[in-house]
């Protein structure tokens, strides 16, 4: 399996180049055209990325996450949900890097064997950065009506978090 994984990418690249040569596709021109399109997409999504970064910074700086943590801790402890995971539940839908930062804080503070660390790891793996996906991908293709996609994405995040809690309660 290790040999297969080492040779998979070079094989795919050689296959694409071979097919392109047989079809007489101008390789360099096609590549540079795709690179130009990629750069245009990158420039188009900058406002959406800035908006997400500002929103995350506002959440962290305002102390709202800490207030929610203290407010919901008694209720969540009834369901065996550590208060340390509340910031992760909030931030995960906004940004993957922010969620990984929160997860790193939890793991460094509590240790790898702590229940909150294990629950956080499962939460990170079972949910998506909904707002990031909507902002970047929908913004890149010009979709502006996000209502149903946002509802489904947040519902999927909620179900992922609930499933992570159920699985961790069952396994740990």
* Residue span of the structural domain in which 50 resides: 42-171
Mean pLDDT, to the nearest integer, of 75-91?
A: 86
* Percent helix / strand / coil, the chain, rounded to 5: 85, 0, 15
The yes-or-no verdict on residue 139 having pLDDT over 80 is no
Alpha carbon of residue 35 to chain centroid: 25
CA distance 51 to 32: 30
Whether 36 is in a domain gets the answer no
All residues at 6 or more sequence positions from 160 whose CB lies less than 8 Å from its CB, including other chains: 123, 126, 127, 128
Whether 8 is in a domain gets the answer no
- Token look-up 């360099």 returns 28
Whether 86 is in a domain gets the answer yes
Whether 15 is in a domain gets the answer no
Whether 56 is in a domain gets the answer yes
Tell me the two tokens of residue 117: 């660390």
Q: What is the pLDDT of residues 101-134, one digit of tens each?
A: 888 889 988 999 999 999 999 999 988 888 888 8
Whether 79 is in a domain gets the answer yes
Q: Which of 39, 42, 100 is nearest to 87 (CA)?
A: 100
CA distance 170 to 14: 47
How many domains does the chain divide into?
Answer: 1
Whether 37 is in a domain gets the answer no
What pLDDT shows up at residue 116? 92
CA distance 119 to 121: 5
φ/ψ (deg, to 5) at 92 = -55, -40
Q: What is the pLDDT of residues 43-79, one digit of tens each?
A: 877 777 777 777 777 877 888 877 888 888 888 888 8
Q: pTM value?
A: 0.66
Whether 24 is in a domain gets the answer no
């Amino acid at each position: 399996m290790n040999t297969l994984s080492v040779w998979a990418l070079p094989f795919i690249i050689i296959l694409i180049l071979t097919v392109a040569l047989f079809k007489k596709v101008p390789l360099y021109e096609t590549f540079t055209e795709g690179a130009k399109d990629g750069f245009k997409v990158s420039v188009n999504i900058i406002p959406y990325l800035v908006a997400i970064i500002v929103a995350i910074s506002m959440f962290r700086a305002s102390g709202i996450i800490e207030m929610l943590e203290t407010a919901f801790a008694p209720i969540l402890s009834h369901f065996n949900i550590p208060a340390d995971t509340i910031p992760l539940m909030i931030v995960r839908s906004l940004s993957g890097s922010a969620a990984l930062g929160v997860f790193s804080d939890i793991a460094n503070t509590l240790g790898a064997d702590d229940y909150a660390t294990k629950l956080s790891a499962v939460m990170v793996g079972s949910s998506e950065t909904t707002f990031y996906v909507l902002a970047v991908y929908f913004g890149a293709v010009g979709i502006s009506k996000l209502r149903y996609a946002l509802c489904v994405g947040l519902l999927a995040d909620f179900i992922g978090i609930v499933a992570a809690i159920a699985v961790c309660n069952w396994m740990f």
